[in-house]
Structure 1
Amino acid sequence: MKNALLATVAVAAVAGGAWFLSRPAVPADPVLGAALAQDAEYDASQIIEMVKGAEDAPVEVIEYASFTCPHCANFHDNQYPQIEENYIDTGKVRFVYREVYFDRPGLWASMVARCGGEERFFGITDLIYERQDEWARRESGEEIISDLRRIGKVAGLTDEDLDACLTDGETAQNLYGWYLANAEADDVQGTPSFVINGEKYSNMSYDDFAAILDEKLAEADAAE
């Protein structure tokens, strides 16, 4: 039964609209990408922003990342824990994580991470990045989804939870439309990308990141 479901999800041929998963997330042809954005209706109000840190923090960092991006996994393994300890947990930074969908596996991973809701999202995200070398290298969609399901279950999700999330075509379509709108608004062309108090930055070392955060904090203090 489970193998049949995995195969069904892998080709995205389930009832209720999960056909959307079979569509290319970011086509090579930008014209085709625009057409997909126009013909796919979505409801951004149904998408929850995944946020860590104080709502009234003086600095906001928005990360745009793909779960299949090795540079994103490296950032979350190295720079992010230091940023979390020194800036997010201390109330200086409000951190927003926004997914980028360069491929279907990235979208599947996002749906598993979001399956746990706001409370489990960042924990599942950590597991997905930690095991990226395993699941993202699988040759078939069925194998990728099987690995992602295992990660979800380690985080406490049930088979029923995962079945419902991975066959939720409406959520997939909403996520994709939400991603396209965000990427256009912030001119996101690669991952990881960061918008820090309205200014866009590319990937960088922790020291460089900390220097920018300190500069933004000083600007916020001066403006008070």
Structure 2
Amino acid sequence: MFLVIGYFIGGTFPVSNFTGAVKESNIVIQPQQPQQMQQTVKLQIPSFAPSRGSDSAQLNIVEFGDYQCPFCGRFFQQSEPQIKQDYVDTGKAKFYFLDFQFLGPDSQTLGQGAWCANDQGKYYDYHDYSYSHQGQENSGWATPDKLKALAVNISGFDTAKFDSCLDSKKYEARVQQLTQIGQGLGVSGTPTIFIGNDQKEYISVVGAQPYDVFKQVIDKQLG
């Protein structure tokens, strides 16, 4: 039994060019309701996706998230640090954050900004700063101009290069592509975390669950 604590889309949008195949799914799109949920998928992580952790790690932990989603922010603050400490920093797992930006234009801008930061090797610096300074959803806290002002505070950042990249919408298609990949895998809300590897199909955990929920699935997949 999983308690779904996340934001969910009420409708659908066209899916194309996604990587992965859903094997089994029973997802009801109702936020914050107890649901019995079992989903296993085959997932191919895009080669361009930045990661945290050792390349020799046995397991992958892949989050599909929206930078405006408060439940993603809760996961970042509450469960992710313990996962990082116990599994990523110890070399047992690699962590990936992939875009599922669906809550509005500011989500799209935030997602594009992450990839502009990645051009400077600062993907997770940007990721962490964005969630640590997350504003209210669709309140205008992450318009392009405000995002540029926030980016000034990231250590070692070339802000002129970042501003130019963001203005050009260089990564608009990539953010859309990753969101479509998530949709193709059965993602209907954020955060959705897949835990597995190429040998074992990925098991999903949906919502900002307590750490022990993630630990149970991770330990099962490591066993």
Instruction: Judge same fold: TM > 0.5, yes or no.
Output: yes
- Mapping of residues 196-211 of structure 1, within 5 Å: 196-197=195-196, 198-203=202-207, 204-211=209-216
Inter-CA distance 29–205: structure 2 relative to 1 (3 Å threshold): closer
**Distance in 1 separating the partners of 2:85 and 2:160:** 35
How far did residue 170 of structure 1 move? 4.4
CA contact (8 A) 2:117 2:162 kept: no
Inter-CA distance 106–137: structure 2 relative to 1 (3 Å threshold): closer
The letter for the 1-side match of 2:129 is L
**Distance in 2 separating the partners of 1:137 and 1:171:** 21
The structure whose Rg is larger is 1
Inter-CA distance 150–200: structure 2 relative to 1 (3 Å threshold): same
**Distance in 2 separating the partners of 1:76 and 1:27:** 20
Inter-CA distance 47–172: structure 2 relative to 1 (3 Å threshold): farther
Inter-CA distance 47–109: structure 2 relative to 1 (3 Å threshold): farther
Inter-CA distance 150–196: structure 2 relative to 1 (3 Å threshold): same
The letter for the 2-side match of 1:104 is P
Dislocated runs of 4+, deviation >4 Å: 26-29
**Structure 2 residues not aligned, in runs of 5+:** 1-7, 18-45, 197-201
**Distance in 2 separating the partners of 1:95 and 1:79:** 13
How far did residue 37 of structure 1 move? 5.1
CA contact (8 A) 1:53 1:89 kept: yes
Inter-CA distance 67–47: structure 2 relative to 1 (3 Å threshold): farther
- Mapping of residues 37-76 of structure 1, within 5 Å: 48-76=48-76
**Which residue is equivalent to 1:9?**
none
**Which residue is equivalent to 1:14?**
none
TM-score by length of 2: 0.71
CA contact (8 A) 2:73 2:134 kept: yes
The count of corresponding residues between Structure 1 and Structure 2 is: 179
How far did residue 71 of structure 1 move? 0.2
More helix by share: 1
Inter-CA distance 27–117: structure 2 relative to 1 (3 Å threshold): same
Secondary structure at the counterpart of residue 183 of structure 1: helix
Inter-CA distance 99–122: structure 2 relative to 1 (3 Å threshold): same
TM-score by length of 1: 0.70
Secondary structure at the counterpart of residue 133 of structure 1: coil
**Which residue is equivalent to 1:94?**
94
**Structure 1 residues not aligned, in runs of 5+:** 1-25, 39-45, 219-224
How far did residue 214 of structure 1 move? 1.4
Q: What is the RMSD of the two structures over their aligned residues, measured on CA atoms? A: 2.6
